[in-house]
Amino acid sequence: MLPAEKLIGFVAITDGERAKAFYAEKLGLSFVSDDPFAVVFVSSGNMIRLTKVKQFTPQPFTVLGWQVPDVVAAVKRLQASGVTFERYGDFMQQDELGIWTAPGGTKVAWFKDPDGNTLSVSQHD
């Protein structure tokens, strides 16, 4: 029914201007619009609606992620733009860049947006 249709991602935010700056300047997404309900971006042809809410509690899991061809290069580019990657302590072995290699070989690094939403970049070989 829907596999050929474009996906729209929804992420809750509390401050439109702050989120707009982060997603445009730090992540490099293409800005589309800003209205009373959402700040809208496009990433690889997919819409991302940053939904404006008065308050919310960020979830402890990834809410939005990007599959990249080279996670090391992506992490370095994002770090150069000011993105800080998360460290999850002793229970998860991450390399010096904060990249974790899953048992199946997928490589993932996590970071947060200004509202505390967990985002990720991952390489799937």
Q: Where are the beta strands (DSSP E) in 1-125?
A: 8-13, 30-34, 38-43, 46-52, 62-67, 100-101, 107-112, 118-123
Q: Which of 39, 54, 69 is the last residue of a domain?
A: 54
Do 120 and 71 share a structural domain? yes
Do 121 and 69 share a structural domain? yes
Identity of the residue numbered 60 = P
Give mean pLDDT, residues 80-85: 98
Do 118 and 80 share a structural domain? yes
Do 41 and 1 share a structural domain? yes
Residues 6 or more apart whose Cβ sits within 8 Å of residue 77: none
> Distance between the two ends of the chain, CA-based, in angstroms?
28
pLDDT at residue 77 tops 90:
yes
Give mean pLDDT, residues 101-123: 97
Q: Which of 11, 39, 54 is the last residue of a domain?
A: 54
pTM more than 0.85: yes
Domain at 6, CATH number: 3.10.180.10
Do 78 and 35 share a structural domain? no
pLDDT at residue 38 tops 90:
yes
pLDDT at residue 91 tops 90:
no
Please report the pLDDT score of residue 120 as a whole number: 98
| Number of domains forming the structure of the chain | 2
CA gap 60, 47 in Å, rounded? 23
CB 14 within 8 A of CB 116: no
The domain in which residue 21 lies consists of 1-54
CA gap 6, 2 in Å, rounded? 8
CB 118 within 8 A of CB 60: yes
